[in-house]
Amino acid sequence: MSLRNKLVTVFGGSGFVGRYIVQKLAQQGARVRVAIRRPDEGLFLKPMGGVGQIDIVQANIRMPMSVQQAVKGADIVINCVGILYQSGAQKFAAVQARGAEVIALCAKEAGVQQMLHISAIGADAESGSAYARSKAQGEAGIRRHMPQAIILRPSIVFGPEDDFFNRFAALASIAPALPLVDGGHTKMQPVYVGDVAEAAVRALSNSAAAGQTFELGGPKVYSFRELLELTLAAIHKKRLLLPVPGALLKPAAFFMELQPLFAPPITRDQIELLKADNVVAANAKGLKDLGIDLPVPVEGTIDTYLFRFRRGGGKFEPRFS
């Protein structure tokens, strides 16, 4: 299906992944309705499209009536809403499980033709992590109402606004050591945010993708330790990488979750999540099946945005050798 002139509602379109999808949709000529909790915080999206091409409306996916309003008249609905930790009413069950299902139900009732949902590798109803369980419940809820929906499950997503490399680079700027949870052996396959967005628009344009689940990973698998080493190299810093058993880190994580002043750097649930590798399954459909043959690598890309963590916020100078 061509996306030109289609009305696409994007829940969570102001987030890290959502903003790249909004931009790609606008480039394809779609009319984009971004549905977020605080519309004023999404105004930066408007210049990504022509005059009037991108509209921002208020919606909270925990409030079904606001979801009903946001999907009215839409041809396609995309869900990019997710949370990394629970706080107040923003619980995994309410946002990632029930919220995702509410979007699918409202979309079906409104006669929306297609839905695309961003889940995550590791979505598993039996997981020890509440995040992973809620992702699986969200997928199941969507399939109940919109069996033709397309589900994208990325590994860690990287790019200028990411929450992985930026977080550890920031931590390395103030801490003498970085923790290697359970030795740092967990495998990850970081995927570039632009590739995730490209995968989304290609999947929506391809009728064969309907009802399919795609796992999205970048060109290389790394251990958690290797990713921290790449981060330190990008910011020109040397730090001790300290293996810490997850069980020992959990009490500290508990206290970080209790304090209300800042987002917890790590939670007990994330420690649980790190027990399982986060890589594309051997039999999964992926970027290649969507015609993305050369995904963007971590090396050389993270330097372009982590350079601000170098001593003195040094300028990025590409090295050609």
Ligand X SMILES: NC(=O)c1ccc[n+]([C@@H]2O[C@H](COP(=O)([O-])OP(=O)(O)OC[C@H]3O[C@@H](n4cnc5c(N)ncnc54)[C@H](OP(=O)(O)O)[C@@H]3O)[C@@H](O)[C@H]2O)c1
Binding residues for ligand X, per CB under 6 A?
A: 11-12, 14-18, 36-38, 41, 59-62, 80-83, 90, 95, 118, 120, 154, 156-157, 163-164
Rank residues 63 and 244 by Cβ distance to ligand X and give the closer one. 63
Q: Which amino acid type is present at position 56? A: I
Q: How far apart are CA 264 and CA 283, in angstroms?
A: 35
Give the separation between CA 226 and CA 187, rounded to whole angstroms: 9
Please identify which residue in the block is written with the tokens 């790609």.
Answer: 24
Which bin fits 313, alpha (ψ -120 to 50), beta or left (φ > 0)? left
- Please name which of 158, 198, 189 lies closest in space to residue 16, comparing C-alpha atoms: 158
Q: What is the C-alpha to C-alpha distance for residues 290 and 214, in angstroms, rounded to an integer?
A: 9
- Least distance from ligand X to the Cβ atom of residue 72, Å: 16
Residue recorded with tokens 């990488």: 241
- In the complex, least distance from residue 260 CB atom to ligand X, rounded to whole angstroms: 16
| 275: alpha, beta or left? (left if phi > 0; alpha if psi -120 to 50) | alpha
- Residue of 230, 238, 149 whose CA lies nearest to 190: 230
What tokens were used for 41?
């915080």
